[in-house]
Amino acid sequence: MDTPVSEASPVFILPLDVARDVSMIQEDFPDIAEKITRLWGSSELNQFFDSLMFDERGTRQGFPGAVFSALMRISKTHILLVPTTPNDSLLDHLLKER
């Protein structure tokens, strides 16, 4: 289920290294790049990465090596900022220190 963006939704800016990887992915997989950008900052993106990496249908060919590496880098960065377990993100820890 996609999360609609409303006027009250926070806007997250992609880190520069993530933006570069998303731009590279955009060339061959524009739908995936768009979804990463749209879901950035939500735990739903972590679920999306899981669905990309694990073929439940048994029919996928896989990603080219450079795209797979970029997806893994983006996923690792995102899970540090927004882990699947609530209240355990880097952002949560930084806000608690204030």
Q: What is the pLDDT of residues 70-91, one digit of tens each?
A: 999 999 999 888 877 655 555 5
Query: Which of the two residues, 25 and 42, has the higher pLDDT score?
Result: 25
**CB distance 28 to 64 below 8 Å:** yes
> Would you say residue 93 has pLDDT above 50?
yes
In which residue are the tokens 């997806």 written? 71
Q: Which strand (E) or helix (H) includes residue 18?
A: helix 16-28
Distance CA 54, CA 50 (A): 6
